[in-house]
């Protein structure tokens, strides 16, 4: 079983950053998703699977993979009930992995970004650690205590949002703005743009799921 699966989706991709992520994992499975396959084509990187409805990829690129390679291609009708990224996440779960990193899942289409954030729940329910990653953001879902060393933080800032309901008894220690036993509601913006102030950030809560965003400025 490949322990890390990297999904290259069709949103905005910083090539240098994406390449650095790919190079940091010696053993990995790569799944190319629709327009994200163009990044792989540019850098001559072979994915194990290609999925999508291919409504945004260039004809030259998809023709190359169809005619010049034996990479499995799973093509879907554009009129479907799931996003291309969701399809890739479900494929990764079926193939087996312990961790999932999704590149190209952010960009100017906020509806697509939010759909991708929600799709992290599919991986969480399967017991897989999944994150959306770009050059300024790391986004993941947390359903248990979080301990984050400052030296391992992705960026200067972090924000918390409740996912799928309320988060009960939220406590934040080791942050610039600590919090004690707060009941976090879906419309609550209290936990936006905090900073790690000590060597270790500790986030605990009694019930619920959090969206944890680690962020930095360009």
Residue 2, pLDDT score: 53
Q: Do domains 4-135 and 142-215 have the same CATH topology?
A: no
The label of the residue with tokens 């169809």 reads 66
Domain topology for 142-215? Jelly Rolls (2.60.120)
Beta bridge partners of 8: 32, 103
Ranges in the chain, pLDDT < 70 = 1-2
Q: Where are the domains of the chain?
A: 4-135, 142-215
Dist. CA 60–CA 202, nearest whole Å: 49
Q: Are 31 and 6 in contact (CB under 8 A)?
A: yes
User: Rounded to whole angstroms, how far apart are CA atoms 200 and 178?
Assistant: 12
**Cβ contacts of residue 187 below 8 Å, gap of 6+?**
none
Query: Quick one: pLDDT at residue 218?
Result: 84
CA neighbor of 133 nearest in space, from 160, 109, 161, 113 = 113
Each residue of 159-215: pLDDT tens digit? Answer: 999 999 999 999 999 999 999 999 999 999 999 999 999 999 999 999 999 999 999
Domain 4-135 CATH class label = alpha beta
Residue 1: the pLDDT is 47
Q: Among residues of the chain, what percentage have pLDDT more than 70?
A: 99
């Amino acid at each position: 079983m490949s322990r890390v699966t990297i999904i290259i989706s069709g949103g905005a991709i910083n090539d240098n950053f994406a390449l650095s992520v790919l190079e940091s994992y010696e053993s990995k499975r790569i799944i190319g998703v629709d327009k994200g396959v163009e990044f792989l084509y540019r850098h001559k990187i072979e994915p194990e699977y290609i999925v999508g409805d291919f409504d945004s990829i260039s004809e030259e690129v998809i023709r190359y993979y169809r005619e010049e390679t034996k990479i499995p291609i799973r093509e879907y009708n554009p009129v479907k009930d799931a996003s291309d990224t969701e399809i890739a996440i479900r494929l990764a779960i079926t193939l087996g992995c312990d961790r999932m990193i999704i590149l190209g899942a952010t960009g100017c289409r906020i509806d697509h970004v939010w759909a991708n954030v929600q799709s992290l729940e599919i991986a969480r329910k399967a017991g897989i650690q999944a994150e959306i990653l770009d050059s300024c953001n790391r986004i993941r879902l947390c359903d248990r205590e979080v301990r984050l060393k400052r030296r391992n933080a992705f960026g200067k800032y972090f924000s918390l949002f409740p996912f799928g309901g309320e988060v009960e008894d939220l406590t934040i220690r080791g942050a610039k703005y600590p919090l004690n036993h707060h009941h976090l509601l879906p419309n609550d913006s209290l936990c936006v743009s905090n900073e790690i102030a000590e060597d270790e950030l500790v986030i605990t809560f009694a019930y619920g799921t959090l969206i944890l965003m680690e962020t930095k400025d360009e």
